[in-house]
Structure 1
Amino acid sequence: MGQWWQSTEDKDGNIQQRLAGDAPAYYIVDKQTLKGAFYAIENDFLGGERLENPLALEDGCYTTCLDPGELSDQLEKALRSDRLSEQLRKHLTKVQADITENDNNYILYAKLKQR
């Protein structure tokens, strides 16, 4: 399908745009200099998997909420990756084994770092 600009209007009538489509892009703007840059969030714990839809990006931390099925799917995908250390692979296997579909949602809270 590709990408397109999605426009919305906030309660004050300001137009907000974001790039939408198959490869979503997020950007951040420095309020002082008004310079911006695109960014992507990758989870080292899940083998470099890109994370979408953060609940919050605050004070250098990332927070999101995942359904047990979603988390299990992400763990399964990460375990197929060859980018994991053996120790991390064992830990993720144990975490995945402990997840049941009747669990409450899981909150992922992680510190952000720059490459």
Structure 2
Amino acid sequence: MAKLGFIGLGIMGKPMAEHLLAAGYTVYVCDLLSEPVKELCSKGAVACSCCKEIAQESDVIFIMVPDTPDVEAVLFGGGGVAEGIRPGSIVVDMSSISPIATKEFARKLGALG
């Protein structure tokens, strides 16, 4: 079974991660706030200290953060997904952001291998 990473545990992200846990997946989680991370860890999730760690541990990485700059920071900022992503990993961005930015982010990630 694939190992899943979930970045962004707000109103939408936390319930999604809970459903993945309930389905039996190993879910690695990261959020700016500690409370949703603690709550999900009590249900079996594994806490990660940064987005890079999520990428190192996960086969599929889900991102659910508010806006384009947030997605860019998660992917390419210090300790971001791009620093830890493995070849063959899948990134699923579920944020409501600019499609132009999404295509550019996908291009940059694809160039990493």
**TM value normalised by structure 1:** 0.28
Higher helix share: 2
Structure with more relative contact order (C-alpha pairs < 8 Å, separation 6 or more):
2
Larger radius of gyration: 1
**Which structure is higher in strand share?**
1
